[in-house]
Amino acid sequence: MKKENFQFEFTRISSKDELNPIDQELMQHALRASAEAYAPYSNFFVGAAAKLSSGIILTGSNQENASYPVGICAERVLLGIVATQHPKIPIDTMAITYQSKNRESNVPVSPCGMCRQALLEFENRVNQPIRLLLGGVTGEILIIESTRLLLPLAFESSYLK
Ligand code: THU
């Protein structure tokens, strides 16, 4: 028997003001995208912005549905846009933020399990990690160097070969 453990490092900063100007701008794009979310059921408006390695910035937001499971998260909306409009171009950084009508939006939220799986597949596909910036409208920001870190023992395409 062998016990193993998984650890990962991330950075926590106290506010957006501590981000470099490029990251601050990306967070702004994500916040603007959250205003385009369609979230009448959860009142949780998520915005995501990706800076591609070519410098282009694209955004996505969550899109809900009266048939709840049909709704799609901001991150996966964005991955679809990136992969369609700029195929094979890696994402250097993705900023994810939200505005909730039910609570103060002052703590970072991190991607749901399904989005982690989708983000990892995108990383594998283009062979480059996606750096994540996670934060609310105010408050702390988390910086994570690869989405892979959020999904230990992930199910990956190698299992299918
Ligand atoms: N949501 C996202 O867009 N991204 C996440 O990572 C977590 C949750 C959306 C899904 C749903 O529309 C709303 O937030 C509440 O769960």
**CA–CA distance, 13 with 39 (Å, rounded to integer):** 28
Q: What is the pLDDT of residue 1?
A: 96
Say how many Å lie between the CA of residue 39 and the centre of ligand 1. Answer: 9
**CA–CA distance, 78 with 141 (Å, rounded to integer):** 20
Q: What is the pLDDT of residue 47?
A: 98
Which segments in the chain show pLDDT lower than 70? none
Q: What domains are defined for the chain? A: 21-153 (3.40.140.10)
φ, ψ at 137 (rounded to 5°): -70, -40
Say what the pTM is.
Answer: 0.97
| Ligand 1 within 6 A of CB of 46 | yes
**CA–CA distance, 98 with 123 (Å, rounded to integer):** 23
Q: What is the pLDDT of residue 46?
A: 98
Of residues 9, 18, 25, 75, which has the active-site annotation?
75
Q: What is the pLDDT of residue 145?
A: 98
CA angle 111, 117, 123 (to 5 degrees): 100
Q: What is the pLDDT of residue 142?
A: 98
Q: What is the pLDDT of residue 22?
A: 98
Q: What is the pLDDT of residue 59?
A: 98
Q: What is the pLDDT of residue 12?
A: 98
**CA–CA distance, 118 with 121 (Å, rounded to integer):** 5
Say how many Å lie between the CA of residue 88 and the centre of ligand 1. Answer: 26
pLDDT digits (tens, 9 = 90+) for 98-131: 999 999 999 999 999 999 999 999 999 999 999 9
Q: Is 75 among the catalytic positions?
A: yes
Say how many Å lie between the CA of residue 73 and the centre of ligand 1. Answer: 5
